[in-house]
Structure 1
Amino acid sequence: MVTKQSGQLEGLSEKIFLDRYAWKNADSNDTKVGDVVLVLTKDDPKFPAKEVGEVIARSGSEVTVRLRSGDLVQSSVEKLTLTVEKTPGEMWDRLAGAISAVEETTENQKLWQERFRYVLDDWKLVPGGRIAAGAGASEELTLFNCYVIPSPHDSRGGIMKTLSEMTEIMARGGGVGINLSSLRPRRAIVAGVNGSSSGAVSWGGLFSYTTGLIEQGGSRRGALMLMINDWHPDLLDFITVKQSMGQVTNANLSVCVSNDFMRAVKEDLDWELVFPDTKDPEYDGLWDGDLEKWRQRGGKVIPYKTVSAREVWHTIIESAWKSAEPGVVFMEYYNQMSNSWYFNPIICTNPCGEQGLPAWGVCNLSAINLSKFYDEANGDVAWDELSKVTRWSVRFLDNVIDATPYHFPENEQNQKRERRVGLGTMGLAELMIKLGIRYGDPESLVFLDKLYGFIARESYMASTEIAAEKGSFPAFEADKYVQSGFMRHMISEFPEVGEAVKKRGIRNVTVITQAPTGSTGTMVGTSTGIEPYFAFEYYRQSRLGYDKQLVPIAQSWKDANPGQELPDYYVTAMSLSAEDHIRVQAAIQRWVDSSISKTANCPGDFTVEETKRLYELAFELGCKGVTIYRDGSRDVQVLSTDKAEEKPAEDKSSVGAAAKSGEGNGAAEIGEANGAEAIGASVPAAASAEFAEAPVSLRAAEQVVDKAYKSRPQVLRGATYKVNTPFGMAYITINDLNGSPGEIFLNVGKAGSDVFAMAEALGRVCSLFLRYGDHGNKVKLLIKHLKGIGGSGAIGFGVNRVESIADAVAKALENHVQLDDAADGSGTAAVYADESAAVQQGTGGELVDEVAAPYLAAKGTAAITSRDLCPSCGSASLINVEGCKTCSNCGYSKCS
């Protein structure tokens, strides 16, 4: 939080300021006694920690630092961050001078330096992270947070060119968005090398891997958004890629969805996956990923596969439910609303999703801190002050376009042609608490419409005033500009804006963007972006360490009202329904010409069907995109409500919901160990929490377990369930202990196979888990964390769909608990003595490997009933063919 008397920050706020935004002294050897520094106290590549302190002694390269806590730390100068600026006031002076310097006259430079210093003071305007770090401090650092670069040219040289451009941007502090739809699908012929393509998704893996290298080497994490269009033949591979560990771990994923696709979902129509004919003579020269433009030119399109639109939609929803990805961007609708519709189509978004951009487009971001605009005397918004700060802030961002260094001429040409800016907000939740308005209630939607309509009007009027002075953006065509979906809405509500645009023109193609502001909002000590507070007391894991946070506005109320509950308008992300989140997003989206970074937080027991309804509600309400986060669905989270320092490094489980965090780079900070969900799920969060305070010695730990472990009686009764899985038919025996499941036996595959061994291991671990602690909660937790785990394939449809052996266990447990509830007071399900009495689950048929089936038919071999894991490719494709174990996926054979 800010100490108003001095402008000095404290706690995590000071750490963030010194680490990310204060002007750095590049040579830590300049450190001297008395310097305030940031010292690395825990040198861990994934979970480091830094603290603020003062140097009290130096001997050679070794220093002694007294931390703010009073503790002394010995360190080398190499582990120090030494800054030129120590207070926000010094940064505000630098920024005001640098951004006003592009004004043409000395008089204007002085005028706008004073005005910019006014809006920056006391954090009324919080600049985007790149502006704060780079303006006036470096000729190398870009002032733009994020970029979208053109879809890769479909060639090795084109892909490497994209990789080089991405690397250069990230090395200078920018995040990158790439649409992969220009790349030919997996197994498509590559005539030049007489081979076949590895597909768009595999090249996405290359971009992701490189992002991870930059993350390790720089002072700021790389951030990458990968997108694919809904017509691409690799669509399903893209949707499910994070269910395979290690393929795409350092990127956020979103699917670009068209209006036609959503109509096909609604009407249960087939959907065709297509790609241009790569043999077309103009393919190499003209294909850029825009399918509609290709068709308009008369280019040939090849159908690859026809799928059910609803099945594809279900796969998107299910994957988002499992791991919060992929997100969905309603890209056709986005372009219909876009002010640049007539000259510069939107092809992708930045990594956090709030800024849709054309090729070579950039994010130019800052946020008005709404918490500073509460008129306490009148109990209302300080509208006049908000108007002034909004108008001056638009000029601030417009000047950034001329103040930033450009490292690619294409970026400079595009940005100066359209002059895209994105003024957003933070502190909304704090302002609403001050006003006594409950975030998400119907009353709040009326207020949000008024507030953001006001900001939109003031922003657009300011842009027209700048245009009258300096000229409109070069691509401006008044008649076409006002035909965009957004401008038609704006003019219908505020006719004066339409008149001003026609009379004066407009300086910027877009003006408003709602970014996440995770790091800057945390530094300032207010709520981030348009989000509610995550919690009023929480823990934050970042590359600065593990920090406990108390929300000042809530803590102040508690201090003034000891022993009382907070009023109901003190809401948090998890106390709201997911629909509340979406309705707030939609209310604000009406007044945002770009887009919004917003996460709909959902409880852990939120279902796939509920997720589907949420995504469809977002489309119906006019949102341009949607992302959910289901509590516990990722293995590493920035924010949590339980104290569990360093726990992610040990058991990869977590409690609490993630918030999109970080200045344009936030989603990467959520924890991109995606694809490892199954590992985290195997140790439920509540279970690991129970062991969190256990003694560290093995003997003591064993004693803790012994006290809680329930030994097995000589006889247990239960039921056996027959479930078809991707590995063959599974027989799952569940026996009850004291009226609740107490042990599980799994029989899958042939004895001696790897699948058989792993199934047996899973059964043993589940049994151990069930016989420890509170049985009722344990069963629910086990179902929750096993259900939906996916592998390389699935079998069945709808409610009968089985993703894996673990998923089969969850479904059998669900059935068992239901039967147990229906038993006549015995508390135990009936014993099934034979298969005819057993509960049938799954498709009921035997599994046939779809890859190997044609080969087996030709050989006259019987259908496969089980498979083993291939030691070469890792897929569950090892089958017995003519007496030898052979992989139907990669061709590996144990006999060759």
Structure 2
Amino acid sequence: MRLSDNGQKVFEARYAQKNENGEIIETFEQAVFRLSRTAASVEDEENKVWEEKFSSVIGDLLFIPSTPIWANIGKPDRPWQPGACFVLAVEDSLDSMYQTLKETAAVFKSGGGVGYNFSTIRPKGALVQSTKGKASGVVELIKLYDASSNMVMQGGVRRGASMGILNVDHPEIIDFIKAKMDGSLTNFNISVGITDAFMEALENGEEWPLVFNGDTYESVSAIELWQLISNAAHACGDPGIIFIDRLQQYNPVPGNPLDCTNPCGEQPLSPGESCLLGSINLAKMINPDGQANFDLLASTVGTAIRFLDNLIDAAQYPLPLIEESTKATRKVGLGLTGLHDALIMAGLAYDSAEGREFAGQLTQYIQQQAHETSRELAKEKGCFPAWEESIFYPDDTRRNAACITIAPTGSVTAMAGCEGYGMEPIFAVAYTKNTNVAGDFEVFSPLFLDECKKHGVTEEVLAEVARQGTCQNVSGIPEDVARIFKGAQDIDNTDHILMQAEVQKYVENAVSKTINLPSTATPEVIEECYLMAYRLGLKGITVFRDGCKKGTVTVGKDKKEENTGSLNRGEILPRPISAHGITQRLDTGCGKIYLTVNYQPDSGKILETFITTGSDGGCLVYTEATSRLISLAIRGGIGVDKVIEQLTGTHSCPSYMLARGKGKGVSAGKSCASAIARKLAQLKKELDVQCNGGSQVLDDKKEDSLICEICGQELNRLEGCYVCNNCGFSKC
């Protein structure tokens, strides 16, 4: 039981048990036994046998449970809440809206993400009979929920994440589509619920009625509405598309309507239901000869399904309704990670027909084995309580209404040591990594380097790969290597969608995947992606055009070094005679600190800093020393970006992490130093815009949402989430 360096970082930062001082008191091996012991405790007999089986598949990284399971299960100071996916109903009354908001806070606190379909909410401006006033509408309600998400950490690990869906026939659909184009709603993914009737109207070029409670508010062109969706996704990555009728078409319990998913779209659920997740590590399922080890895969799937099913009974639920609904259908979400690793090991290209066929075979086999295990568990322990209302009654006994889900796997992929997250291709064969000690350096895919070593690829050729960020069309890279080692941006959008469609055939729930598009992609390309997804039977689709949001790691060399002037070594500029200043408050593990940044108003150049503590505590000597050294470094010609790197790279502060674990509203970061660094970075960008590019001020939450909360590196978009290539942290 040994993790990679990155896997160990993720485990210690997010999952390891800590004492009251925030100090780690648990090893990875102990955590594995913690999970296994808890899951085995609900067995009527042979508890020890199952504990050992669960420990074997988890400890050997064959099966990796999801974040809430690692973070909660078996800990004496946490509720044993294993669910990652939740859906809650929102009705059209003030009481319901705020009751759901309260229930959401309970789910967030326990580590889950929540989806809502807001189509029951009357549109903006509609009459409210009880008060004779006008309704605030859907978008304003989502803003309320989004603001609340900032107040509650998901299990003390991350900000609450939500999915907001609005059906395409709602009168407020146009405002909903545009809702994220101004950079707001940073805690929400949003998707339009597309119906088959709308797709028919689109095909026929018809007008589309916007209706609420039987009243038609207006009619719009279906084509223009479709184009508006594509234009918004082109601009900011949202909204996504959920084919709402298709969710209900494949509903295992038709009497429980499905019109919503969890935040990343992979888990359709009825209101009140939850689902717990885990992933099979496909990189461990390939033999040295490139063939799949189906015996190992079968035994791992069987053990994993039993583990997840057991946790439904061992769990402590945030709300009675959720416990009742979850146990009624006993849905689990077994997925996969490292698909691209497996394809590379098998010598198959991600964007080839052979690669898709192999991926389909693996997914189909996982589904078959999962369903067979569910049947065996039903004979042993009984069917799920709603079985008689399900599509399986009366001939097909099942323990679980659904078994397979392809979910985002950011942190668990880092734990597993895979290069491909979930079913995504590797991000790139080479990218630039920022460190605070060694500066910037190029990171290569280990699988790529191993293959290059076998083919005798020279250092000069690798240097060119690093420069371009891709091995495509690089002289000296063998054709067979280039064919297999394509990163997400090297793969055509149609091949992304074809792979998702192939895997979706064998997934009764849904698939979380990002269709990566180059920055040059037009809105028309996005329209084509949406149409292709519908025609291929997908349940939903998310596209992400490179550059539509700030952030992401650097692929290839296209960096501008900061000009730090021409000071001689050891020369220090004098303090400015006069300057403009900005003061910002930061909330830390010990109390409040106040950061003042002085700058030149004409250029926006930062000149010096002052840091003081608030009345509620903090180390005055430390903050004063930090402030002086920052100012000295800047006046000595060291770029602010380099200062930020150094501050970001400090170790985690136990007080800071303890406060965050208790749900206190501390500023982003892992210590006072890293919080100061983040605020400096934000202010520097704002000053650059204010003084050099007009009056626009960057939104703090928008920028902060693209920075890793563990290591401070920038995030890139994968699986509908933002993932850190440095440490594996993910934010949905």
Matched, 1:83 2:24: yes
Q: CA deviation at 1:161?
A: 0.7
Q: 2:531 matched to 1:536?
A: no
Instruction: Give yes or no for contact 2:109–2:154 (8 Å, CA) kept in 1.
Output: no
Deviation string 1:251-275 (CA, Å, 9 cap, x unpaired) is 1111111110111111111111111
How has the CA–CA distance of structure 1 residues 85 and 606 changed in structure 2, closer, same or farther, with 3 Å as cutoff? same
CA distance in 2, matches of 1:405, 1:548: 45
8 A Cα contact 2:282 2:336, kept in partner: yes
**Mapped pair 1:93 → 2:33:** yes
> Does the 8 Å contact 1:472/1:505 carry over to 2?
yes
Change (3 A) 1:184 1:524: same
Amino acid at match of 1:7: R
CA change 1:197–1:547 in 2 (3 A) is: farther
Q: Secondary structure at the match of 2:177?
A: helix
Deviation at 1:548, TM superposition (A): 7.5
Alignment partners' CA distance in 2, 1:224 and 1:548? 35
Find the counterpart in structure 2 of residue 102 from structure 1.
Answer: 42
SS of corresponding position for 2:151 = helix
CA contact (8 A) 2:260 2:268 kept: yes
Match of residue 334, structure 1, among 223, 229, 247 = 247
Structure 1 partner of 2:579? none
Matched residue type, 1:261: F
Return the offset for 1:196: 0.3
Q: Could you say which residue in structure 1 is the equivalent of 2:199?
A: 262
CA contact (8 A) 1:538 1:640 kept: yes
The 2-side partners of 1:541 and 1:172 are apart by: 33
SS of 1:477's partner is helix
Find out whether 1:592 has 2:507 as its counterpart.
yes
Q: Tell me the alpha carbon deviations over residues 466-503 of structure 1, each in whole angstroms, 9 at most, x when there is no partner.
A: 0011111111138x514xxxxxxxxxxxxxxxxxx865
- 2:6 aligned with 1:7: no
Going from structure 1 to structure 2, the CA distance change for 1:546 and 1:146 (only over 3 Å counts) comes to farther
User: Against the structure 1 CA distance between its residues 187 and 126, is the aligned structure 2 distance closer, same or farther, given a 3 Å change threshold?
Assistant: same
* Cα contact 1:146–1:363 (8 A) shared by 2: yes
Q: Which runs of 5+ in 1 are unaligned?
A: 1-5, 29-80, 277-300, 483-500, 648-694, 702-757, 766-896
SS of the equivalent of 2:114 reads strand
The corresponding residue for 1:352 is 264
Alignment root-mean-square deviation, CA:
2.9
Q: TM-score, length-normalised on structure 2? A: 0.71
Cα offset, 1:523, TM superposition: 2.7
Alignment of 1:661-810 (within 5 A): none
Residue 320 of structure 2 is aligned with which of 389, 409, 426?
409
| Cα pair distance change 1:508/1:320, threshold 3 Å | same
Within the alignment, does 1:364 sit opposite 2:276 as a pair?
yes
Q: Quote the Cα distance in structure 1 between the aligned partners of 2:168 and 2:11.
A: 41
| Structure 1 position 15, deviation (Å) | 1.5
Determine the structure 2 residue equivalent to 1:22.
16
Deviations 1:192-217 (A, max 9, x none): 22210111110000001111222599
Instruction: Give the CA deviation at 1:537.
Output: 3.0
Aligned residue for 1:193, secondary structure, equals coil
What is the DSSP-based 3-state SS (H/G/I as helix, E as strand, rest coil) of the residue aligned with 2:199? helix
Distance 1:762 1:109 in 2: 65
Instruction: Indicate the residue corresponding to 1:506 in structure 2.
Output: 398
Which of 86, 111, 125 pairs up with 1:147?
86
Is residue 2:36 matched to residue 1:122?
no
Structure 2 counterpart of 1:628: 543
| Partner of residue 97 from structure 2, selected from 159, 166, 173 | 159
Distance 1:217 1:143, change over 3 A: closer
- Amino acid in structure 1 at the alignment position of 2:251: S
Structure 2 match to 1:558: 452
1:244 is matched by which residue type in structure 2? Answer: D
Q: In the TM superposition, what is the alpha-carbon distance from 1:249 to its structure 2 partner?
A: 2.6
Contact 1:373 1:431 in 2 (8 A): yes
Residues 554-602 of structure 1, C-alpha deviations (whole Å, 9 max, x = no match): 2333344332524421121011000100000000000000001000001
Counterpart in the other structure of 1:195: 133
Match of 1:234 in 2: 172
1:380 to 278, 283, 291: 291
What residue in structure 2 maps to residue 75 of structure 1? none
The structure having more radius of gyration, on CA atoms, is: 1
2:530 maps to 1:615: yes
Letter in 2 for 1:641: V
Kept in 2: contact 1:323–1:633 (CA 8 A): yes
* TM-score normalised according to structure 1 size: 0.58
One-letter identity of the residue aligned with 1:225: M
CA contact (8 A) 2:530 2:541 kept: yes
Which residue of 2 is the match for residue 275 of structure 1?
212
Post-superposition CA distance 1:605-652 (Å, at most 9, x none): 011111111110000000100101111111234x443689999xxxxx
Task: Mark the CA change 1:517 to 1:614 in structure 2 (over 3 Å): closer, same or farther.
Answer: same
SS at match of 1:437: coil
- Relative to structure 1, the CA distance from residue 363 to residue 541 in structure 2 (aligned partners, 3 Å threshold; closer, same or farther) is farther
Structure 2 match to 1:523: 415
Q: CA deviation at 1:453?
A: 1.3
Judged with a 3 Å threshold, the aligned counterparts in structure 2 of structure 1 residues 469 and 588 are, in CA distance, closer, same or farther, namely same
Aligned equivalent of 1:253:
190
Contact 2:275–2:326 (CA<8 Å) still a contact in 1? no
CA 1:559/1:228 → structure 2, altered by over 3 Å: closer, same or farther? same
Q: Given the alignment of the two structures, is residue 481 of structure 1 paired with residue 394 of structure 2, yes or no?
A: no
Alignment map for 1:205-224 (pairs within 5 Å)? 205-215=143-153, 218-224=156-162
SS state at 2:157 partner? coil
The 2-side partners of 1:416 and 1:114 are apart by 26
Maintained 8 Å contact 1:539/1:640: yes
| CA positional deviation for 1:538 | 3.2
Q: Partners in 1 of 2:15 and 2:443 — Cα distance?
A: 20
User: What is the rounded CA distance, in whole Å, between the counterparts of 2:440 and 2:228 in structure 1?
Assistant: 35
1:872-891 to 2 correspondences below 5 Å:
none
CA displacement 1:822-868 (0-9 Å, x = unmatched): xxxxxxxxxxxxxxxxxxxxxxxxxxxxxxxxxxxxxxxxxxxxxxx
- Would the alpha carbon gap of residues 193 and 546 (structure 1) be closer, same or farther in structure 2, given more than 3 Å must change? farther
Contact 2:489/2:518 (<8 A) preserved = yes
* 2:451 is the alignment partner of 1:457: no
- List runs of 5+ in structure 2 lacking aligned partners: 459-475, 562-632, 640-688, 697-732
Q: 1:333, 1:362 → 2: CA distance?
A: 20
The whole-number CA distance in structure 2 between the counterparts of 1:348 and 1:23 is 34
- 1:318 aligned to 2:231? yes
* 8 Å Cα contact 1:270/1:308 also seen in 2: yes
Query: Which of 426, 432, 440 is equivalent to 2:351?
Result: 440
Are the structure 2 counterparts of residues 764 and 259 from structure 1 closer, same or farther at C-alpha, using a change threshold of 3 Å?
closer
Q: Is the 8 A contact 1:181 1:229 kept in 2?
A: yes
Task: Look up the equivalent residue of 1:538 and give its one-letter code.
Answer: Y
Q: How big is each residue's C-alpha offset from its partner over 1:662-720, in whole Å with a ceiling of 9 and x where there is no partner?
A: xxxxxxxxxxxxxxxxxxxxxxxxxxxxxxxxx9789999xxxxxxxxxxxxxxxxxxx
From the superposition, tell whether residues 539 and 204 of structure 1 become closer, same or farther in structure 2 (CA, over 3 Å).
farther
Per the alignment, in what secondary structure is the counterpart of residue 634 of structure 1? coil
The offset of 1:8, in angstroms, is 4.4
Amino acid in structure 1 at the alignment position of 2:496: H
SS for the counterpart of 1:241 is: coil
* Count of residues in correspondence between the two structures: 549
Return the offset for 1:308: 0.8
Q: Identity percentage over the alignment? A: 34
Structure 1 residues 166-196: Cα deviation after superposition (integer angstroms, max 9, x where no partner): 1111122111111111111000011222210
**Paired residues of 1:229 and 1:255 also in contact (CA < 8 A):** yes
Change (3 A) 1:111 1:606: same
Q: What's the secondary structure of 2:351's corresponding residue?
A: coil
Residue 627 of structure 1 aligns to a residue whose secondary structure is strand
Which amino acid counterpart does residue 2 of structure 2 have in structure 1?
G
User: Aligned partners of 2:360, 2:507: CA distance in 1, in Å?
Assistant: 11
